[in-house]
Structure 1
């Protein structure tokens, strides 16, 4: 099915969606669940591990009551066994919810970036775990920051992350955000922040862009996904909400291995655009693709996990060489 939105956008021909998508939905969860999406995925201790966002409530009544993070394991990255309770549910008088996890494995531990809604703005957090039962929160940003992802190793002796700040006042009150990069000596204190990629550099985005899955190291550079959003005020009701006028696509770029603040390759077309029924017809917010996990297999296959329509978790694959070829030199 082709996307009927204007302008028409199509997925790259190198992308192959898993034929039995979605790989995870609320029906697979043994506790209260409604929307399962925007998961972080990694390989850890011989298994695939997924931490997924669960907005729980009632699908039948189209009612949402809250958010937690669920945990699932898999032997093949396709068929998932969801654990019997959420693994992360951060709430107190100030924190309203934690969501949108991203997983990075370093030094035998799993680091999880996540977003936090608070009574005083949106913050980004980093936590670490070895067993997914106990999480130690290492750092939290000031408002407003979100979509943080960690690189899987130190670069130039420092930890590095991508992020998407929310400079609403500085951008004239417009919903127009970009991808930034920062580094840290200890995962606690972050600085040396630079603009990595502006929304104006992505031809199919007119609203905002932001990080997707944690970058994957290849011989040619850091293969990096991102989300790109276009807004059309003429779009009406799409999904549960009374009005949803945005479309999210997945994009891909290549960053320099030694200096990842340099974009050395960029695909000027979407990597994955909303096209199937589970991306464009059914769901809380239709026409949304949000990549949150990417795994490079030994045979060169890349598994890309993405939330579809803010409702289900899906899988697409491509060969790493084909993805790199999409990223044309920037200059």
Structure 2
């Protein structure tokens, strides 16, 4: 009897270890991660009802970040991490029906932030009124040139059509809006369609992440449903890459039965590495039969793809499971209850990668990847 008990205990332990092993999310050697959420620190940015500013659109004081703070861009300036995050006031009744403005937060350690009381990019009485009133400025991605020019790609939302907009700055506070990214290309053809989520290609130079040129051009992955790509010589005017019929080339698209079965939406600035260009993206799981049953319907998880370093249109590899997914309570509760870890900002800081993301469209979180300690991604359910 004792032997039988010992054998049963042995097999129980082995089965539990086998089950645990099946949940380990080993990442490919070209991918970034795993990203670890620092204990007790998240979320790092939350709504603040005490911040007010005079809104030129509404002609009154508004509590511009009282309802939600989420979907952040990130960069480094003067040795500090700067996060530009999307903020919404309490006007409006649903996602997409409020006004969005971009707030400014800076940190000496990447985890504890000091915030400006007024937004730095917002719908103003300027040349972009028709593109930004009343919806505002949403979902930024941010990068910098080697000579210190900051370039932000963000969504201009007039509550009719979403367009990728461009603005530049030397100090991250005062911005010059140059308008829609595709306004000139192909006689404005792609300025008339819905465009979102622009991820410029960057690289590390002496420990500093800067915008990269490939074949003499800057490159921009973009898209919400599919991932498309565009090029530029001046970082202001972008020209989408098209096929022989003049249509956008879809580099990746949603896949039935996978975590990205509904949307494949570009994440933080892509990174040129010795193995290729790594693009992180946000995958939305379909709520119907096309979805991956392991993940919550309509939830957003994060994936990675690899493109050729000499040909940014050539796909080399794609992860079949997310490396980052909603796991914490604050990632699954908020104005997006299905759960989302919406990745948009990533910086190289003190020899580690800090990933900033929107938590359920309500708060900002951070996770850390130490390249010297390759670890698994978020465990699979």
**Residues 111-166 of structure 1: CA deviation (Å, up to 9, x unaligned):** 0010011265111111110123321223413131000121221111111101116x
Q: Which of 164, 171, 176 does residue 223 from structure 2 map onto?
A: 164
Contact 1:305-1:313 at 8 Å conserved across structures: yes
Once residues 11 and 49 of structure 1 are traced to their aligned partners in structure 2, the CA distance between those partners, rounded to angstroms, is 33
Structure with the higher fraction of residues in helix conformation: 2
| TM-score, normalised with respect to structure 2 | 0.70
**Residues 270-311 of structure 1: CA deviation (Å, up to 9, x unaligned):** 11111111112x211021110011123453x22111101000
Cα root mean square deviation, aligned: 3.0
Residue of structure 2 in register with 1:267 after alignment: 319
Relative distance call for 1:54 and 1:153 in structure 2 (3 A) is: same
Once residues 303 and 212 of structure 1 are traced to their aligned partners in structure 2, the CA distance between those partners, rounded to angstroms, is 14
Residue of structure 2 in register with 1:95 after alignment: 132
Relative distance call for 1:222 and 1:261 in structure 2 (3 A) is: same
Once residues 198 and 220 of structure 1 are traced to their aligned partners in structure 2, the CA distance between those partners, rounded to angstroms, is 22
Measure how far apart 1:62 and its partner are. Answer: 8.7
Aligned length: 295
Contact 2:258-2:285 at 8 Å conserved across structures: no
- Structure number with bigger Rg: 2
Unpaired segments ≥5 residues, structure 2: 1-22, 27-33, 53-62, 183-190, 202-210, 243-248, 290-295
State how 1:315-330 maps to structure 2 within 5 Å.
315-320=366-371
Once residues 163 and 367 of structure 2 are traced to their aligned partners in structure 1, the CA distance between those partners, rounded to angstroms, is 29
Residue of structure 2 in register with 1:147 after alignment: 197
| TM-score, normalised with respect to structure 1 | 0.80
Structure with the higher fraction of residues in strand conformation: 1
State how 1:54-65 maps to structure 2 within 5 Å.
54-57=87-90, 65=98
Once residues 103 and 271 of structure 2 are traced to their aligned partners in structure 1, the CA distance between those partners, rounded to angstroms, is 24
Residue 190, structure 1, aligned to residue 247, structure 2: no
Residue 108, structure 1, aligned to residue 167, structure 2: no
Q: Which of 287, 290, 300 does residue 342 from structure 2 map onto?
A: 290
Residue 312, structure 1, aligned to residue 358, structure 2: no
Once residues 200 and 290 of structure 1 are traced to their aligned partners in structure 2, the CA distance between those partners, rounded to angstroms, is 19
State how 1:8-157 maps to structure 2 within 5 Å.
12=25, 14-19=34-39, 20-27=41-48, 30-31=51-52, 32=63, 33=65, 34-57=67-90, 65-91=98-124, 92-96=129-133, 97-106=136-145, 107-118=147-158, 120-140=160-180, 141=182, 142=191, 143-151=193-201, 152-157=211-216
Residue of structure 2 in register with 1:172 after alignment: none
Measure how far apart 1:219 and its partner are. Answer: 2.6
Could you list the runs of 4 or more consecutive aligned residues of structure 1 that deviate by over 6 angstroms after TM superposition?
61-64, 321-326
Measure how far apart 1:261 and its partner are. Answer: 1.6
Contact 2:91-2:99 at 8 Å conserved across structures: no
Relative distance call for 1:283 and 1:126 in structure 2 (3 A) is: same
Unpaired segments ≥5 residues, structure 1: 1-9, 166-176, 235-243, 327-331
Relative distance call for 1:81 and 1:29 in structure 2 (3 A) is: farther
**SS of equivalent to 2:112:** coil
Once residues 289 and 128 of structure 1 are traced to their aligned partners in structure 2, the CA distance between those partners, rounded to angstroms, is 27
Relative distance call for 1:26 and 1:50 in structure 2 (3 A) is: same
Relative distance call for 1:65 and 1:293 in structure 2 (3 A) is: closer
Once residues 307 and 239 of structure 2 are traced to their aligned partners in structure 1, the CA distance between those partners, rounded to angstroms, is 20
Residue of structure 1 in register with 2:267 after alignment: 212
